[in-house]
Structure 1
């Protein structure tokens, strides 16, 4: 957190004549109890986790004059109101700061193998064509009241993607289903022995299928195969979105080169 942001939180103007502290620290990292402090002159705001449940914000001031306040019990109400405004402003600024596209290693976590008891289960990789096909069929099964059995899933896979049973056997399907079940992506009905995506599995399956077919494929075609010329252009919302995405990717690459 920069000094300019800290001055905004305390609603004070930042000048060269300012004396005192103006920085932010993260303390007690080694002990597992993280405490964030933002110092401004003789005051600071502290944020920490309490009882592993609540995220608490506190303000401590050793000189109320820095905040334009006075001491005494008569001014306690004004101090409380001013401190409440500062904590609200700090929480709002923090929420705005965290409302960004951050790096989340979902694909890396799924790609790593896991252990189901004493059994080692392989990871799920986004470039696995077999897994993409299976997820697409399971997404269609999720729209039905009666989920698909393993035999039915295998039959649909062979018919939809025009592959032979030698290329994708029933044992291979059972292996893929067992792998998805170990990762918590599907659940099997106890009574009917049918498979359906869990809530987590639905999100990941949609992410994999949409990313593979409608996002990564078209966007990767532009820089590595051939970029469509500006004219003539199909006046569809999807094509216009792809072209805006191409321009945005080029802009991000330029910014990375500058950085």
Structure 2
């Protein structure tokens, strides 16, 4: 018809960067740590770095970080005006970062199709900037590997070393004995460690024979926690052994054991512990919600 013409325009554009990870469990552990340590990424100062746009009091929109869990998969959401960026663990195989532009004018760009290359640049740049800004305090995948190596048997040069399971009382007693100052300073023999180990298990030294102690020493050595002093019958802790033993024993005695005592159903109701009060408040809130749902149904 005379006087009319048409042009293709862009109502919404999505630009995604997908980084495939080596193992599903690695990806999940990594992304959960990313969320935990970057909850401030939706603040104005961070958003302007991600999108390369100045943010001030007159900038429309809500600047916040949202964590949304669907099933067991969390996702991280950051908003800028009417556009947003989303990050999630895709199909248990990859970290996916998506920028969705719902209004091209958020970035001073027109809607005509010829502006797609510029929008593409904006979207992929935002994805990469978000990844550059995000930080984690430690290599969580490495930590998981180290922990799981200790929880499983290990094979070294055809020799099998049984696992050092975290909650095993024998393992806790063994590692508590290792971190005695006298052993750290000058090393120890089979007999030295046997005496301390027996006391920590509530036994007399004579109730643990040298053969059993040799078994434990071999287990520690093959896991890399101790090493034999050359040309002697003495052993000494390795750096890995000292750090692992301290971490195992301190977490168990100072966090896990007292924490479980506080949240146990057998704990006294009048306990002043804030942890117990918090759990009870959460439990009451869940019970109230369940009652309301049943009434509504």
TM-score (norm: length of structure 2)? 0.51
| 1:48-127 paired onto structure 2 within 5 Å | 62-63=117-118, 90-92=131-133, 94-95=134-135, 98=136, 105=144, 107-127=147-167
Q: Deviations over 1:177-212 (max 9, x none)?
A: 111111111122114332222222222212222233
- 1:210 match: 250
CA change 1:115–1:38 in 2 (3 A) is same
What is the number of equivalent residue pairs in this alignment? 203
Q: Deviations over 1:162-191 (max 9, x none)?
A: 413564221111111111111111122114
Give me the CA root mean square deviation. 4.6
Unaligned residue ranges in structure 1 (runs of 5+): 43-60, 68-82, 234-242
| 1:107-256 paired onto structure 2 within 5 Å | 107-141=147-181, 144-159=184-199, 161-165=201-205, 167-224=207-264, 226-230=266-270, 243-247=273-277
Q: Deviations over 1:197-256 (max 9, x none)?
A: 22222222122222333322222223336324547x6xxxxxxxxx23334555777899
Is the 2:195–2:205 contact (alpha carbons within 8 Å) kept by the matching residues of 1? Answer: no
The whole-number CA distance in structure 2 between the counterparts of 1:37 and 1:247 is: 39
Is the 2:155–2:161 contact (alpha carbons within 8 Å) kept by the matching residues of 1? Answer: yes
Is the 1:147–1:195 contact (alpha carbons within 8 Å) kept by the matching residues of 2? Answer: yes
Is the 1:188–1:195 contact (alpha carbons within 8 Å) kept by the matching residues of 2? Answer: yes
CA change 1:253–1:188 in 2 (3 A) is farther
- SS at 1:145 equivalent: helix
CA change 1:37–1:128 in 2 (3 A) is closer
Is the 1:142–1:196 contact (alpha carbons within 8 Å) kept by the matching residues of 2? Answer: no
CA change 1:191–1:252 in 2 (3 A) is farther
1:10 and 2:51 matched? yes
Is the 1:131–1:176 contact (alpha carbons within 8 Å) kept by the matching residues of 2? Answer: no
The alpha carbon displacement at 1:123 in A equals: 0.9
Unaligned residue ranges in structure 2 (runs of 5+): 1-30, 36-40, 54-59, 61-79, 105-115, 290-297
The whole-number CA distance in structure 2 between the counterparts of 1:249 and 1:196 is: 43
| 1:35-46 paired onto structure 2 within 5 Å | 39=99
The whole-number CA distance in structure 1 between the counterparts of 2:138 and 2:247 is: 19
